[in-house]
Amino acid sequence: MSCFKNKKHRLTFQHVKMSSLHCCVPKCTRDSRLNSEISFHTFPKDPEVRKQWLIKIRRYKFSPTPATRVCGKHFLSGDLEVGPGGKKRYLRKGAIPVLFEWNDTLPTPRLDQTDSHSDSDMVTLPYDHDYCATSKTAVMADEMRGEMFTALEEKDEEIRPLQHKAEALQLLTRCCLDRYAGSDEHIRLYTRFASYKHLMAFWRLVESASASCSDFSLSTTKLPPIDELLLFLMYLSTGQSQMELAEWFDIHRSTVSRIIATWTHFLYQLLGSQRLWMPREAVRAHLPPEFAGYQDTQVILDCTEIRIQAPSSLLLQSEVFSSYKSHPTLKAMIGMAPHGAVTFVSGLYAGSMSDKEIFKLSGITNLLTPDMAIMVDKGFLIENVAPCKVYRPAFCSRNAKMSREDVIKTQSIAHLRVHVERCIRCLKENKLFDTSIQLSVCGSIEELFSVACFLVNYQNGPLVKEWAT
């Protein structure tokens, strides 16, 4: 690239041999390849003149670069000076472009032939008006536009803080994870995770798994995937209806239903593929000191029930009716390792089924060995079906009192077995299970219940503070 500059510090015309130059003025398509007689000029360095150039060419919020050019056809004939040899053209200092197509002072250029219009051809008389018939009136009109342009820039400075406030207000009114990122209390309320840090650690596991899963794709909605997970967790945690969640997240109710179904199935496959049952050696390695008298305990078992809407069929009502809850229910058995981790979750069965029958049908007997022991409530009469030792509080017969040894044993077992009830209470903190599950949800309730049980291991810390170490 060669640059020529005169002694009076006038603006220069640069000629590029390797590539053509293009005019940056809107609606102007001239370039040096097709218009060899036209000069192309860089933007001036003087900030005031440079600002006037930007105003005149009418490119809002445009930032020129050293390669940006304005062709000589947009300047008055008196602004152009011919250099030595008659080939190079220079702009006088302070020259401003004023001739444009939109003010009817410049004809529309053609790309298929060389632009050879003389300076006298630059002004074209309009047919139906005469207020821009001369270059002088065109300049006056552009000056008015320049004042409007400057006023718009000043208004931008006033509007920008208001835009920031509007964005902050929108964040406060829109339900998304960023809204609750600074409050662990809200994270605990809406997701049951102990803190935002715990939630993000879980999200990183889920995100990497979803990215590597080729045969499964998350639903495509206007919500980011992490906000879809937040919606699903809020559905479990708060028990809000799908209509309420649709209003919170500003989406359609059918979209909420699709997100819940998709994430339920995805997390059921992902978390269910992880091994819950712990080997005997791992359980022994994490055995709390309180279990010193029951060191062979592998799992603590208990059953829990969730209420469902009464079916219309009387036969089905009799099958799911629970005499303990006096309501139609579904029943499941949950197993917890002595140190507090959920290690077994059965399927859901009819509420009328006994704990012993669920124990036999759950499949846990295939995991137990004779060198293990299980700890259960006194209602689990499973000594004759369990393939291992059973720690169960003693019954008191009608006509006899419990011996001193039985009382001490019952108290010690009850003191340890209560931890599984605390684990179930963590599960029941999900308000979805506080109300009667609608029959329309019962098709996926087993997956929902299993996912809620799996999440207990990720959401909560140790059941006993002393076990944290």
Average pLDDT over residues 282-287: 92
Q: By 3-state DSSP, what share of the chain in percent is helix, strand and coil, each rounded to 5?
A: 45, 10, 40
DSSP H or E segment with residue 71: strand 70-71
Q: Which of 76, 25, 70, 82 is nearest to 44 (CA)?
A: 70
pLDDT recorded at residue 446: 93
Three-state DSSP class for residue 44 = coil
Decide if 420 contacts 336 (C-beta within 8 A). Answer: yes
403 versus 177: which is more confidently predicted?
177
The yes-or-no verdict on residue 74 having pLDDT over 60 is yes
What pLDDT does residue 119 have?
A: 41
461 torsion bin: left (phi>0), alpha (psi -120 to 50), beta (else) = beta
Q: What is the pLDDT, as a whole number, of residue 256? A: 92
Give the model's pLDDT for residue 207: 86
Question: How many other CB atoms are found less than 10 A from the CB of residue 189?
Answer: 13
User: Does this model's pTM top 0.75?
Assistant: no
Give me the residue spans of the domains in the chain: 40-148, 177-272, 296-468
Q: What is the Cα–Cα distance from 109 to 117, expressed in whole angstroms?
A: 10
State phi, psi for 145 to the nearest 5 degrees.
Answer: -65, -35
Query: Is the pLDDT assigned to residue 121 strictly greater than 50?
Result: no
Pick the range with the lowest mean pLDDT from 122-131, 236-245, 365-374: 122-131
CATH for 296-468 is 3.30.420.10
Q: Mean pLDDT score of the chain, rounded to an integer? A: 80
Radius of gyration over every alpha carbon of the chain, rounded to an integer in angstroms: 40
Q: How far apart are CA 81 and CA 106, in angstroms?
A: 20
Asked whether residue 288 carries a pLDDT value surpassing 60, the answer given is yes
Instruction: Kindly state the average pLDDT of the residues 444-458.
Output: 93
Query: Which structure tokens are listed for 30?
Result: 């001239």
Q: Check pLDDT > 80 for residue 80.
A: yes
83-91 contacts at long range (C-beta below 8 A, 24 or more positions apart):
83/4, 83/6, 83/13, 88/4, 88/13, 88/39, 89/13, 89/39, 90/6, 90/10, 90/11, 90/12, 90/13, 90/39, 91/10, 91/11, 91/13, 91/41
What's residue 462's pLDDT? 67
Q: Which sign, positive or negative, has the C-alpha torsion 120, 124, 125, 131?
A: negative
What is the pLDDT, as a whole number, of residue 51?
86
Whether residue 115 has pLDDT greater than 60: no
Do 262 and 235 form a contact (C-beta atoms < 8 A)? Answer: no
Q: Which of 339, 375, 341, 381 is nearest to 360 (CA)?
A: 381
Q: Is the pLDDT of residue 355 over 80?
A: yes
Return the pLDDT at 9.
43
Average the pLDDT over each of 17-21, 93-97, 256-260 and give the range with the smallest value. 17-21
Q: How far apart are CA 82 and CA 89, in angstroms?
A: 5
- pLDDT tens column, 397-433: 555 677 777 788 888 888 888 889 999 999 999 999 9
Residues 349, 330 contacting (CB under 8 angstroms): yes
- Span 28-40, pLDDT tens digits: 888 887 777 788 8
Of 441 and 229, the structure prediction assigns the larger pLDDT to 229
> To the nearest whole percent, how much of the chain has pLDDT over 70?
76
**Mean pLDDT across the stretch 390-399?**
75
Q: How confident is the model at residue 465 (pLDDT cuts 50, 70, 90)?
A: low
pLDDT at position 146 is 64
Helices (H), 107-241: 135-173, 177-180, 184-191, 196-212, 225-238
Q: Please check the confidence at residue 469 and state whether its pLDDT lies above 70.
A: no
pLDDT value of position 128: 38
pLDDT band at 181 (very low <50, low <70, confident <90, very high): confident
Given pLDDT bands bounded at 50, 70 and 90, which one contains residue 264? Answer: very high
- pLDDT bin (cut points 50, 70, 90) of residue 168 is low
Compare 389 and 143 and report the one with higher pLDDT: 389
- Residue 218: what pLDDT? 54
Q: Is the pLDDT of residue 283 over 80?
A: yes
* Alpha carbons 468 and 460: distance in angstroms, whole number: 12
- Pairing state between β 80-82 and 89-91: antiparallel
Q: How confident is the model at residue 1 (pLDDT cuts 50, 70, 90)?
A: very low
Token look-up 């197993």 returns 335
User: How far is 296 from 369, CA to CA, in rounded Å?
Assistant: 11
Contact call for residues 73 and 30 (beta carbons, < 8 A) = yes
Q: Find the farthest-apart pair of alpha carbons in the chain and give their distance in angstroms, rounded.
A: 130
Q: Which range among 153-162, 274-283, 416-425 shows the weakest confidence by mean pLDDT? A: 153-162
What is the DSSP track for 229-281? HHHHHHHHHH---HHHHHHHHTS-HHHHHHHHHHHHHHHHHHHHTS--SPPHH
pLDDT over 60 at 50, yes or no:
yes
Is 70 exceeded by the pLDDT of residue 320?
yes
In angstroms, the CA 56 to CA 67 distance is 19
> What is the rounded average pLDDT of the residues 365-377?
93
What was the pLDDT predicted at 132?
45
